[in-house]
Amino acid sequence: MLKRFTSATFLAVICLTNMAALCCRPTEPGNLPANFDVLAQDQGYWEWERNVTEGPVVSPTTTGFSRQLVFGADGQLTIRHNGQVQSQISYQLSTGTFPRCGTPQPVFSLVTFTPEPQVPNNERKSYTVESTPAGRTLSLIGEDACVDGGYYESYTWHEE
Residue type for 94, please?
A: S
For the chain, the domain total comes to 1
Q: Which of 54-58, 70-74, 129-133, 137-141 has the lowest mean pLDDT?
A: 54-58
Average pLDDT over residues 96-103: 88
Average pLDDT over residues 53-64: 86
Residue 24 three-state SS: helix
Range of the domain at 124: 7-159
Cβ(159)–Cβ(73) under 8 Å?
no
Whether 1 is covered by a domain: the verdict is no
Residue 139 three-state SS: strand
CATH code, 11: 2.40.128
Whether 107 is covered by a domain: the verdict is yes
pLDDT, tens digit (0-9, with 9 covering 90-100), for 17-40: 443 333 333 333 444 445 567 888
User: Which neighbouring-strand residues pair with 132?
Assistant: 135
Average pLDDT over residues 152-158: 94
| pTM (two decimals) | 0.76
